[in-house]
């Protein structure tokens, strides 16, 4: 929304026909909409009008205006508030560090991949951290939410130099499915909705500081635990405040960092700033030839963190191994909420191609159930993805589809009623199940 707002306002400001007119941005009396509108126009002032966060915020409150704070996505009592100034400061820092660059931003790609049926992932720091919903043993629809097997992510991860995966939830899939394909895979489990201990924080930082490429991090929904640890890295290595880190993550991936995790991130700010200062000092010494170390590991060897989390231990951490696998957890609730929210937005202004038929898309060893427009789509020289709406990724069935086309074809779409569709008959029940669970179509 921020990107589209900026594009629309910039276009009006540069319009020759509007050159002598004032542009008024307004909203209704709803307090929530007023806060959202203030965030949009304030962020525009920071990004495009070279205002500092404080200057932009002072304009918003110059007439004693007050705005609602932003809260987390949990279902309980609000424990932590973010205000508009926190968000403006997050935008300002993101511009400084090069995380926010609309000249390089692909809004269509962002909106595509943030949808549950297309992977449910977002870049938090471009080229460094990708947050995503936890993979499942096989692709399917569960409680209205599309789940994806690890193989569904391989093409995108390879294309964007993601070399390591960090799993924070219980084991729902075999890690070998990633490692056998050349990815590093790390398990750092802690309970859904809880906060990590210092050992987990140190291990996470160690992994990220030594990764050769980008890191994909997931828990169950890819929001709470995922955002908490990425936030720790941002505070240590970029000296963001806790509120700036949380605000930026929610701008990139709404719903990130939940409940007591917000207070945990705030409590860790000072110690992580100190660790980051020492880390950078050591790195500078290494670059200046004062140290013979060729690789500095995460953490500071001469600093001990004295178990600051012990006071936070509660009965919530007396956890059954099967609870997250079989029970309804916070992650399940958040994924269900996100799925419903996206289904609503699809019926609005989001532009989607008009589907003309159901088919199977095969493209560079990827296989999907899809809708397509036109009588047929795809040749050996075209990208058929441009003309389809992907419904579900299929891992084990692409070889069946390949039998229907020349082996030289790079990509193609097979209409469901195509000749030889008896080969697709085993998939018919799967398609029916997908269609019953995907309200976007």
CA dist 353 and 374 (Å) reads 11
Concerning whether 219 is annotated as a catalytic residue, the answer is: yes
DSSP structural state of residue 303? -
CA dist 113 and 223 (Å) reads 15
Return the percent helix, strand and coil in the chain, to nearest 5.
45, 15, 40
SS3 240: coil
- Radius of gyration for the chain, computed over Cα atoms and rounded to the nearest angstrom: 24
SS3 99: coil
Whether 202 contacts 254, CB under 8 Å: no
- Cβ contacts of 226 within 8 Å, gap of 6 or more: 131, 132, 168, 217, 218, 219, 256
Considering 87, 219, 252, 401, which one is annotated as catalytic? 219
Q: What are phi and psi of 117, to 5 degrees?
A: -75, -10
CA dist 407 and 12 (Å) reads 50
In DSSP terms, 160 is beta-bridged to: none
- 10 Å CB burial of residue 422 (0-12, 13-18, 19+) is exposed
CA distances from 226 to 158, 194, 249, 261, 413 (A): 21, 11, 10, 10, 36
The residues annotated with a catalytic role in the active site are: 219
């Amino acid at each position: 929304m921020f990107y589209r707002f900026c594009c629309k306002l910039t276009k009006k400001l540069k319009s020759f026909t509007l050159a002598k007119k004032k542009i008024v941005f307004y909203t209704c009396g709803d307090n929530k909409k007023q806060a959202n509108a203030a965030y949009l126009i304030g962020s525009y002032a920071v990004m495009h009008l070279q205002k500092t966060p404080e200057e932009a915020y002072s304009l918003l409150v110059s007439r004693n205006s007050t705005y609602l704070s932003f809260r987390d996505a949990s279902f309980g009592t609000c424990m932590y508030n973010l205000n508009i100034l926190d968000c403006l400061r997050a935008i300002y820092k993101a511009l400084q560090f090069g995380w926010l660059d609309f000249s390089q931003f692909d809004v269509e790609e962002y909106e595509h991949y943030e949808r549950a049926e297309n992977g449910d992932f977002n870049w938090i720091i471009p080229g460094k951290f990708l947050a995503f919903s936890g993979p499942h043993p096989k692709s399917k629809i569960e409680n209205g939410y599309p789940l994806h097997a690890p193989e569904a992510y391989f093409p995108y991860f390879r294309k964007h130099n993601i070399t390591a995966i960090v799993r924070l939830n219980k084991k729902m899939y075999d890690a070998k499915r990633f490692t056998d394909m050349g990815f590093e895979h790390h398990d750092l489990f802690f309970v859904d909705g809880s906060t990590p201990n210092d050992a987990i924080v140190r291990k996470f930082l160690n992994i990220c500081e030594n990764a050769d490429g980008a890191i994909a991090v997931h828990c169950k929904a890819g929001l709470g635990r995922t955002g908490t640890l990425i936030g720790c890295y941002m505070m240590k290595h970029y000296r963001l405040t806790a509120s700036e880190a949380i605000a930026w993550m929610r701008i990139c991936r709404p719903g990130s960092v939940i409940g007591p995790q917000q207070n945990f991130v705030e409590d860790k700010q000072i110690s992580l700033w100190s660790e980051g200062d020492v880390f950078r000092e050591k790195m500078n010494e290494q670059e200046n030839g004062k140290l013979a170390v060729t690789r500095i590991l995460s953490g500071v060897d001469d600093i001990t963190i004295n178990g600051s989390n012990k006071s936070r231990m509660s009965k919530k951490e007396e956890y059954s191994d099967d609870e997250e696998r079989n029970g309804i957890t916070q992650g399940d609730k958040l994924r269900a909420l996100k799925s419903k929210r996206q289904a609503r937005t699809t019926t609005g202004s989001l532009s989607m191609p008009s589907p003309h038929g159901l088919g199977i898309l095969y493209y560079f060893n990827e296989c999907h159930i899809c809708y397509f427009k036109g009588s047929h789509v795809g040749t050996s020289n075209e990208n058929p993805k441009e003309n389809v709406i992907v419904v579900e990724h299929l891992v084990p069935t692409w070889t069946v589809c390949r039998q229907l086309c020349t082996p030289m074809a790079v990509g193609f779409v097979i209409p469901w009623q195509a000749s030889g569709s008896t080969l697709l008959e085993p998939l018919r029940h799967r398609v029916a199940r997908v269609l019953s669970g995907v309200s976007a179509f």
